[in-house]
Amino acid sequence: MAVCCEIDNLKGRREVILDDMNSWINFSSCLENHLLLSSPIYRRQLFLIRSFGGYCCKAHMEGQGAASGKITALEADAETVIRKITPVLDPRRHKGQAGKIAVIGGCREYTGAPYFAAISALKIGADLSHVFCTKDASPVIKGYSPELIVHPVLEESYSVRDDEKASVAKRVLAEVSKWMERFDCLVVGPGLGRDPFLLDCVSDIMKHARKSNIPTVIDGDGLFLVTSNLDLVKGYHLAVLTPNVNEYKRLIEKALNTEVNEDDAPEQLLSLAKCIGGVTILRKGNSDLVSDGVTVNKVSNFGSPRRCGGQGDILSGCVAVFSSWARSSNKEMDDKSASSPMMLGCIAGSSLLRRAASLAFADKKRATLTSDIIECLGKSLEDMIPAEQG
């Protein structure tokens, strides 16, 4: 495998292309010894490069050297990440082993978002996809697709009397909790709405998921909830936040008490992720940036200029599945230190969505809708990792 690395140090830029991984490891060890030993961030990058075969988490450090360097994110080698973590399609495996995902979302107003997230998970290869939503949303979401398992268990304030709230909240938690251990990942937020009682119930569900070590991807109104109570995810390494420009702004204001700084975007994202105790944050934008508080990666392969609503929901479903696969992959390799399955999941999900959006746009142009992009997820994945090889 050819490995390309750009390194800026005090003496200027060097571009080095090495022929194989061993050369890279030798080279990186040399660098580690002589150049950048004092930077934990750079050491972490090197570690990840070695752990995952040099295809992600490249570092780009400018200015005054690594110890005090300004960090810009380099493009992750997302295709190699996807190839590495996507499981082999082995006929000996049985239902559930390729992933069981649950989306917490869907209320009286929003039904499309949880559907997009849940169906995207199936379309890239998960075996089972559940949705936990309100009673009003349930028949509509079921109606979109018989492939989903939809649980009408959430409640909004308008349907619950004040004196019932405690018992209803308890029942909601119990109904979701009995399923919790079966899931490889939760997606919290698509189409959740902002009803205070519902959000209280979802807080309880998130706390329970955290106790059970269930990875959790948080998007949409889930980010509204988390921004108002950062302790819900603080220090939880299996949490991923996927803010868009406005959600990111609110997060920065709340957590760092400052404004978004586009000039130092990777560094600010790194600070934010670190401040929330090492959660992984996928900042969506023209280029997506991902940080877990230790490293920063960029994904910017061409997607689509269409910004139709719902693409974030696809992303959240894909990140959930890819993160689960990365976690399984780490376990199978018994590589407890490889870590950052959530980072890998974000890189893979971001890149796949962009590729699918690009395919859909090539066909539908201005008329491209989210459903068109979902229909391109399979082909996009197939182009990178043919199922027959698996």
State the minimum distance, in angstroms, from the CB of residue 172 to its own copies: 14
Q: Does 94 bind its own copies (CB under 8 A)?
A: yes
Return the bridge partners of 59, or none. Answer: 73
Helix 21-34 crosses helix 40-51 at what angle (to 10 degrees)? 170
Q: Is 278 annotated as a binding residue?
A: no
Please indicate if the annotation marks 288 as binding a ligand.
yes
* Residue 297 in marked binding region: no
The residues, ordered by sequence, that sit 6+ positions from 108 with a Cβ below 8 Å of its Cβ are 134, 136, 137, 156, 193
The correct pick among 60, 283, 306, 327 for binding its own copies (CB under 8 A) is 306
Min dist. Cβ of residue 244 to its own copies (A): 7
- What are the contacts of 204-207 at 24+ separation with CB within 8 A? 204/169, 204/172, 204/173, 205/104, 205/132, 205/172, 205/173, 205/176, 205/177, 206/232, 206/233, 207/232
Which own/partner contact pairs does 35-40 have at CB distance under 8 Å and 24+ positions apart? 35/7, 35/9, 35/65, 35/66, 36/9, 36/61, 36/65, 36/66, 36/67, 38/66, 38/67, 39/66, 39/67, 39/69, 40/294
309 is in an annotated binding site: yes
Residue placing its CB nearer to its own copies in the complex, 140 or 180: 140
The minimum distance between CB 44 and its own copies, in angstroms, equals 30
> Residue 67, by phi and psi: left (phi above 0), alpha (psi -120 to 50) or beta?
alpha
Binding mask 311-340 for its own copies (x = CB under 8 A): xx----------------------------
Interacting stretch for its own copies, rule CB under 8 A, among 38-46, 58-66, 198-206, 372-380?
372-380
Residue selected from 22, 64, 68, 145 as contacting its own copies according to rule CB under 8 A: 145
Q: Which is nearer to its own copies, 47 or 115 (CB)?
A: 115
Using CB under 8 A, which of 124, 192, 225, 346 touches its own copies? 124
Q: What share of the chain is helix, strand, coil (3-state, %, to 5)?
A: 50, 15, 35
Answer yes or no whether residue 90 interacts with its own copies by CB under 8 A.
yes
- CA dist 341 to 1, 85, 221, 246, 370, Å? 22, 9, 24, 26, 26
**According to CB under 8 A, which one of 70, 142, 210, 250 is a site residue for its own copies?**
142
Q: Under the criterion CB under 8 A, does residue 146 sit at the interface with its own copies?
A: yes
Determine the interface stretch with its own copies among 197-205, 252-260, 304-312, 326-334 (rule: CB under 8 A): 304-312
Identity at 347, one-letter amino acid code: I
Of 275 and 356, which CB lies nearer to its own copies in the complex structure?
356
Phi and psi torsions of 229, nearest 5°: -150, 80
Binding positions for (6S)-NADPHX are: 191, 244-250, 313
Q: Which chain residues interact with its own copies by CB under 8 A?
A: 86, 89-98, 108-112, 115-116, 122-128, 136, 139-140, 142-152, 244-245, 285-286, 303, 305-312, 361, 364-371, 377-379, 381-382, 386-388, 390
Binding positions for ATP are: 284-288, 303-312
